[in-house]
Amino acid sequence: MDKITVVLAGQPNVGKSSLINAISDAKLKVGNFAGVTVDKVELDISYCDEVACRDYIIHVVDLPGAYSLVDYTQEERVTKNALLEGDYDVIVNVVDATHLQRNLLLTSELLELGKKMVVVLNMIDEAEAEGIEIDEKQLSTILGVPCIKASAYKKIGIKEIEQSIVTVSQDDTISNKVIYSDFIEEEIAHIVRFFKERRYTSAIPYRQLAIRLLKEDEKIYKKIHEEPIWIELQHLLREALEHLYLHAGSKDLKEIFTDEHFAFAKGAKMEVMSRKSMRAKSLTQKIDNLLINKYLGIPIFFLFMWILFQLTFEVGAIPMDLIDASFSWLGDKAKVVLGDGWLGSLVADGMIAGVGSVMMFLPNIMILFFGIALLETTGYMSRVSFMLDGFFHRFGLHGKSFIPLVTGFGCSVPAYMAARTLKNEKDRLLTLFIIGFMSCGAKLPIYVLFIGAFFEAQNAGNWLFLIYMIGAVLGLISAKILHLYVFKGEDEPFVMEMPKYRLPSLALIWHTVYGQSKSYIKKAGTFILAASMLVWFASNYPKNQDIQDSYEVKIEKVQSQEEKDKLANEMQSQLLKESYLGKVGQASEWFFAPLGFDWKMSIALETGLAAKEVVVSTLGVLYSLGDETDENSASLRTQLKEHIPLPSAIAFIVFVMIYLPCFAASMVFAREAGGWKYLLYLFIFTTATAWVLSFIAYNVSKVILGV
C-alpha cells in the first residue's frame, strides 16, 4: 500500500479542519477564528483508486493557518518551516472561495516553492449564494495546478480532491506558474543563467533558489555564503537588488514581494471570477471601473496615446532647429579648420552631418520614452493588458503580449526580451514576429523627417499618431494570419498582474529615459558615426575626374548663379551614380522601382538594416552634398520634397514601418525565438509584407493624388 504525505495549507478560517472532517470523518475541533489549529495535527486517510486498482494511505498534516509565509507569528513560523524544510509529496492549498483574491496571496507564495500542489476552492456553495462565479478550469490553467470546487459543509468535491492528490503525486512534472513583473523576472533569469553556467549543485530548483536569494532568505544565504560560488554571486545579487529597489520605489523586500503577490492575486481573480452585482468600494476599484471599462477603457487608452504623440512631435520640434543649426555651425567650422579637401568633407559632410541628422531627434525620443515610462510606473499599462486580453485573443494573441508590444514602441531589443513572460511557445513566437510592426524609437526620426517634409506642420502630431496606429493594426492582422496558418494551437491563458496604483516615480522615469537616451547617443557617437563615415566614403569614391572636369568647364561658361548651382547639383548627382554607393543602389533599384523608390532611397533602406537611425544619416549624406551654395535647399526636408514624389514618400514610410528591425534587435530576436532559422523566416515575412503593402500604398496614392 503506497503512502502519500500531504500538507494542508491555507489562511485562517478557510475551513481546513472542516474539510478533513468531510474527507475522513475524523472529529477535529472546528472554530471560526484564527489560531484554532496552532498545533500540527496529523491523520491517515485510506483511499482506493478504482481506476488504477491501487490502495493508498494519504497521510495528512494540517498546518496552522497562515496569511503568508512570514515569521510574524508562531503559527506562521511553524507553517513556513514545515513547507520549506518538511518531507512531503503534495501541498493541498485550501482557499476560501468567497474571498478569492485575499486567499490567492498565500497561493502565489506556495507556487514559488516548486512543489506538487492542489488548490481546493472551499465554501463554493456560499460563494454561489453570494452571486460569485469562479471558472476553476481557467484558474487551473493560470496556476498550472488542479483547482477543485468543494464544500466541506455539503461534502461537494471530496472524491475529486482525493483523486487529484493521487494523480498529482504520481506525476513527475511540476507546472506551477507564478510570474512576477518584468524587472523581477529579468533578475531571476540572470541568476538562473548564472547557476546553469556554473553547473551549481542544488537540492531545490534554480528558479526557487533565485527567488529566495532575492527575498534575502537567511538559510539560503548562510548555506551559499560558505561556498566558493559566493564570491561571484554577491556582485550579481547586489546589482539585481539595486534594480529591484529602483523599479519598486522601495528597499523593503517584503513590501516589494507582497505587492507582487497582490498584483498576481488580483490579476488571477479578475480573469476567473465574476459577480452578478459588484459595486466599487475603494478608490482603486473606482479608478479601475473607469480606466478598464469595457466601453470607455479603449477610447481612454487611445486618447492617452494620441496626447503622447502630439507632445512627442510638438514639444520635441522646439529644440530641433537649435540642434540642427549647432551641428551645421560645427560642420562649417570643421571645413574652415580642415579645408575643403577630402578630410574636411569627411568630418563635416560625413561625421558631423551624419551624427547631427540623428541627434536632432533626441528630444522626440526622450519625450516618447518619458510618456511610456510614466504610464508603466503608475500601474496603468498592466490594466491595459487586462482590458485588451479579450480583444487580443481574437487575433491569436494573449493580453500579456501587450507589454512587449508597447515596449516595442520604445525599442525592439527590450521588447523581444519582455516576451519571455509568455511561457507558451506559440504565444511567445507569435508575439516576437509582430513586435517589429510597433514602430521603435529609432524609426521616429524617419517619420518626423518625412512628415515635416511632406505634410502640414499643424497636423504633424496627428500624422505621427496615425502612422503608429496603422503599424499596430497591421501587426494585429499579421498575427491573425500567422495564428491561422503558422502558429496553430490552443490559446493558453496566463494571469496578468494588477499592481497597485502608484504616483509616478521620478527616479524610475529618469532611469528609463536616461538609459534609453544614453543608448541612443552611444549609438549616434559610435555605430552611426562609423556608418556615416562608411556611407560618406562609398558616396565619394571612386573619384571620376572626367565627370568633374566636364562639369567644371560648363560651370565656368555660365554667368548666372542659379545655372551654376543647377550644374553643380547635376555634377554631384552624376558623381554619386558612379560611386560605390551608387552602384549598389542601382544594382538593387529593380527591386524597389515598382514602389517609386530611386537608388538613393533604396540605399537608405538597405543601410537601415544595420540601424534605423542610419536611414536619416544616409539621406543626409546623399542629399546634402553640393547644396552649400543653394540656400533654398539647405534643409534635408527641402531636398526630400524636391527629389521625392509624395506617393513614393508614403510608400517609403510604409516600408520603414514594417521591414526587418536593426541588426542588434535581429540578433536578440534570433536568440529569443530559438535559432537563426526564425530570423530568416522573419526577414522573408517582413520584407515580403513591406514590399506588397508599399506597392499598394504607392499606387493607391498615385490614383488619389492624380499623379
Q: Where are the alpha helices (DSSP H) in 579-645?
A: 580-592, 599-607, 613-624, 636-643
Torsion (CA) 473, 475, 478, 484 in degrees, nearest 10? -90
Contact 76, 67 (CB under 8 A): yes
Same domain assignment for residues 74 and 208: no
- Are both 439 and 418 inside the same structural domain? yes
- Nearest-10 crossing angle of helices 663-673, 676-705: 130
Shared domain check, 691 and 666? yes
Flag whether 291 is in a domain.
Answer: no
**Inter-residue contact 582 to 537 (CB < 8 Å):** no
Is there a domain that residue 94 lies in?
Answer: yes
Integer Cα distance of 35 and 51 in angstroms: 39
Judgement on whether residues 643 and 626 belong to the same structural domain of the protein = yes
Reduce the DSSP state of residue 54 to 3 states and report it.
strand
Position 498 scores a pLDDT of 62
**Residue 455 CB partners (closer than 8 Å, separation 6+):** 463
The whole-angstrom separation of Cα 302 and Cα 309 is: 11
Given the C-alpha cell 507564495, which residue does it identify?
Answer: 109
Residue 494 contacts residue 177 (beta carbons within 8 Å): yes
- Given 110, 136, 170, the domain boundary residue is 170
DSSP string, 565-584: HHHHHHHHHHHHHHSHHHHH
Quick one: cell of 310? 502630439
Q: Kindly state whether residues 551 and 689 are assigned to the same domain.
A: no
Count of domains observed in the chain: 4
Q: Are residues 342 and 470 in the same domain?
A: yes
State whether 439 and 357 are in the same domain. yes
Q: Has residue 410 been placed in a domain?
A: yes
Amino acid identity at 529: L
* CA-based end-to-end distance of the chain: 86
Phi-psi region of 134 (alpha: psi -120 to 50; beta: other; left: phi over 0): beta
| In 315-394, alpha helices (H) | 320-338, 342-345, 353-359, 362-377, 380-393
Supply φ then ψ for residue 501, to 5 degrees.
Answer: -70, 135
Q: Single out the residue of 126, 168, 130 nearest to residue 149, CA to CA.
A: 126
Distance CA 574, CA 551 (A): 10
Cα–Cα distance measured from residue 636 to residue 467, given in angstroms and rounded to the nearest whole number: 21
Q: Which residues, listed in sequence order, are joined to residue 275 by a DSSP beta bridge?
A: 132
Among 114, 147, 170, the domain boundary falls at 170
Residue with cell 526564425: 678
Whole-number Å distance between alpha carbons of 665 and 239 = 24
Q: Is residue 91 within 8 Å of 115, Cβ to Cβ?
A: yes
Q: How many CB atoms lie within 10 A of CB 306?
A: 17
Instruction: Specify whether 257 is located in the same domain as 307.
Output: no
98 & 48 share domain: yes
User: Is residue 176 one of the residues assigned to a domain?
Assistant: no
Q: Which of 170, 198, 227 is the last residue of a domain?
A: 170
Q: Quote the CA–CA distance of 10 and 107 in Å, as a whole number.
A: 8
Interatomic CA distance for residues 613 and 354, integer angstroms: 10
Residues making up the chain, counted from first to last: 707
Nearest-CA neighbor of 505 among 290, 246, 252, 313?
A: 246
Residue 687 has what pLDDT? Answer: 92
Q: Are residues 100 and 139 in the same domain?
A: yes
By the 8 A CB rule, do 616 and 357 touch?
yes
Query: Looking at the structure, do residues 659 and 685 belong to the same domain, yes or no?
Result: yes
Nearest to 655 by CA among 681, 693, 625, 626: 693
CATH code of the domain in which 161 resides: 3.40.50.300
Could you tell me which residues come within 8 angstroms of residue 442 by beta carbon, excluding any fewer than 6 positions away? Answer: 411, 520, 611, 612, 613, 662
User: Taking Cα atoms as reference points, which of 203, 209, 142, 136 lies closest to residue 176?
Assistant: 142
Phi-psi region of 268 (alpha: psi -120 to 50; beta: other; left: phi over 0): alpha
d(CA 39, CA 458): 74
144, part of any domain? yes
Q: What is the CB neighbour count within 10 angstroms for residue 543? A: 12
CA distance 7 to 361: 60
What Rg, from alpha-carbon coordinates, does the chain have? 31
The span from the CA of 407 to the CA of 398, in Å, is 15
Cell 499599462, residue? Answer: 381
537 belongs to a structural domain: no
Same domain, 262 and 340: no
- In whole angstroms, what separates CA 690 from the centre of its chain? 23
- Measured from the Cβ of residue 46, the count of other Cβ atoms closer than 10 Å reads 10
Domain containing residue 240 = 182-278
Look up the CATH number of the domain holding residue 191. Answer: 1.10.287.1770
Q: What average pLDDT values come out for the chain (707 residues) when binned by 10 residues?
A: 85 78 58 44 75 78 81 72 84 89 88 88 86 87 88 84 87 74 84 89 85 86 86 89 84 84 83 68 72 80 80 75 79 80 76 71 77 79 74 78 76 72 77 88 83 80 86 90 80 59 76 76 67 73 80 79 73 75 81 88 81 73 46 57 87 92 77 85 92 94 84
In a domain, 608, yes or no: yes
* Assigned domain for 53 exists: yes
Beta bridge partners of 58: 4, 45
Helix and strand numbers (H, E) in the chain are 34, 8
